């Protein structure tokens, strides 16, 4: 189970890195950086994006624990973060809201307790903004 979670986290991070953080160039900007500097900047951009994503996941875990104690009891932070990671992968693959909400319902299940449809929709609204 722990390796499945690790794979999910690795997949989410891969999606984050694969999507890139596209650097915007201002119109009329004629300066170019040497390739080494540009590569270093890309790495810093990716690191900053990953750090933001991890902070967003931590905020999701805290909000989930507060709002849904019955779904959060006896779960570690990685397990709760996975509730957001799987839907983010679905969204990155173009899944619709209904499919993502079904994934959330499955991921949020805790010892036979499923989120209500309203809770699943609320969790969707928590997850959607943090997805890369």
> Using one digit for the tens of pLDDT, what is the confidence trace for 20-54?
444 444 444 455 555 566 677 788 888 888 889 89
Contact 53, 16 (CB under 8 A): yes
What does the alpha-carbon distance between residue 62 and residue 72 come to, in Å, rounded to a whole number?
Answer: 10
Look up tokens 């959060």; give the residue. 72
SS (H, E, C) 24-50: CCCCCCCCCCCHHHHHHHHHHHHHHHH
Indicate the pTM of the whole model.
Answer: 0.66
The domain ranges of the chain are 43-132
What does the alpha-carbon distance between residue 80 and residue 109 come to, in Å, rounded to a whole number?
Answer: 10
> Using one digit for the tens of pLDDT, what is the confidence trace for 79-101?
999 999 999 999 999 999 999 99
Using only C-alpha atoms, the chain has a radius of gyration, in whole angstroms, of: 17
């Amino acid at each position: 189970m722990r390796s499945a979670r690790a794979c999910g986290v690795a997949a989410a991070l891969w999606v984050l890195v694969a999507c890139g953080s596209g650097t915007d160039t201002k119109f009329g900007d004629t300066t170019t950086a040497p390739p080494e500097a540009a590569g270093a900047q890309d790495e810093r951009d990716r690191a900053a994006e990953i750090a933001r994503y991890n902070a967003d996941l931590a905020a999701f875990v805290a909000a989930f624990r507060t709002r849904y104690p019955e779904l959060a009891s006896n779960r570690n932070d990685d397990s709760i973060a996975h509730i957001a990671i799987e839907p983010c992968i679905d969204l990155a693959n173009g899944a619709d809201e209904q499919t993502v909400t079904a994934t959330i319902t499955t991921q949020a299940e805790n010892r036979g307790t499923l989120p209500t449809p309203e809770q699943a929709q609320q969790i969707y609204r928590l997850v959607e903004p943090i997805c890369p």
